[in-house]
Amino acid sequence: MLLSTSCPACGAIGPAPCPSCRSAVRRAPALPRPPGVTSCAALLAYDGVGREIVARLKYANARSALPWLADGMAGLATAPADAVTWVPTTPQRRRRRGFDHGRLLAGAVARRLALPCRPMLARLPGPPQTGRTRAERLDGPRLLVPAGAALPRRVILIDDVATTGATLSAAARALIAAGAAEVHAVVAARRA
């Protein structure tokens, strides 16, 4: 039996997102390049329908729009690269949800770019960025590359939402400190 897909934003049966919701999605505002990041691009504005699509993937495992998001994000990954990775969610959230939405996005983008998708970052204990004030976010999460990991020279870094850019910057610092030369960030949405 085939299961029908539905739009994660409005629930309409059919393509995800549906044509009506797709037309309501706003492009992301320009994303300033966070420190340490070679280039940075965002697909959607994190509001309205765009917010619903990303939030439902992240919090409800609503994967129907994942191919659409990955197509758009892959289109933004224009710099030459050797591999794709992602900013991992906290271990607590991964256990509670049963998946890591960043890994889902990175895997789908990597397939479209015909690049390997590799876990390169580990998240150390600490609070998630969600729900923190701007000042708290600027500290960024604590990320590191496991000891002895051989990194590719050029990495595409995938994340779901960019707000201050602190997470992307923390990830880029860790990747470059471990041997990457370029970190090209691509995010699904940007919060203005």
**Structure confidence by residue, pLDDT tens digits, 152-183:** 999 999 999 998 899 999 999 999 999 999 99
- For the ranges 74-88, 141-155, 175-189, the lowest mean pLDDT is seen at 141-155
Q: What's the mean pLDDT when you consider all of the chain?
A: 90
- Does 141 have pLDDT greater than 70? yes
pLDDT band at 1 (very low <50, low <70, confident <90, very high): very low
What's the 3-state SS for 119-178? Answer: CCCEECCCCCCCCCCHHHHCCCCCEECCCCCCCCCEEEEEEEEECCCHHHHHHHHHHHHC
Domains by residue range for the chain, with CATH: 26-190 (3.40.50)
pLDDT score for 54? 96
pTM assigned to the model: 0.90
- For the ranges 3-7, 132-136, 145-149, 153-157, the lowest mean pLDDT is seen at 132-136
- Average pLDDT (126-154) is 74
- For the ranges 64-78, 94-108, 175-189, the lowest mean pLDDT is seen at 94-108
pLDDT score for 75? 98
Of residues 109 and 30, the one with the higher pLDDT is 109
Which residue in 58, 59, 54, 119 sits closest to 83, CA to CA?
119
Sort residue 40 into left (φ over 0), alpha (ψ -120 to 50) or beta: beta
- Average pLDDT (80-84) is 98
pLDDT score for 121? 96
